[in-house]
Amino acid sequence: MSAVALVVDDSMLIRYTVCRFLEERGFAVESATNGAEALQILERVHPALIVTDMQMPKMTGSELISALKGKLETAKIPIIIVAGRASGFDETEKRANFAIYKDIDIEGQLEKALDVVFSKATPKV
């Protein structure tokens, strides 16, 4: 059985791009359009990885991360943030394992993020 990844983003294009990338690397992928939807999926699925946007309707990425970190069963799931450069999230959000930007080569950044998250390697700056 393959590892499950949960992709949470209100942009259909970003969701599709990230889901396809992860599926090509052997993940079974679930997706949600906001944090509230993601929490419903987490009632039936325990992902090995969560990729989330920060700015979404209903429940933001930051609120989702708070909910995840507040529960024993989801607190240790690696989190990759995908956000626009102008959002300023990288200055304030320290609870994620890796952060990438939507506006530049998402797939190249995801490759690096997966290497760091799953190999425990030191990120290259």
- What is the mean pLDDT, run by run of 10 residues, along the chain of 125 residues? 89 92 95 95 95 89 92 92 68 74 81 82 46
**Judging by beta carbons within 10 Å of its beta carbon (0-12, 13-18, 19+), is residue 84 exposed, middle or buried?**
middle
Residue 68 near residue 50, CB atoms below 8 Å: yes
The total domain count for the chain is 1
pLDDT of residue 67: 94
- Find the domain containing 106 and state its range: 4-119
pLDDT of residue 85: 65
In a domain, 125, yes or no: no
Q: What CATH number does the domain containing 109 carry?
A: 3.40.50.2300
In a domain, 20, yes or no: yes
pLDDT of residue 32: 96
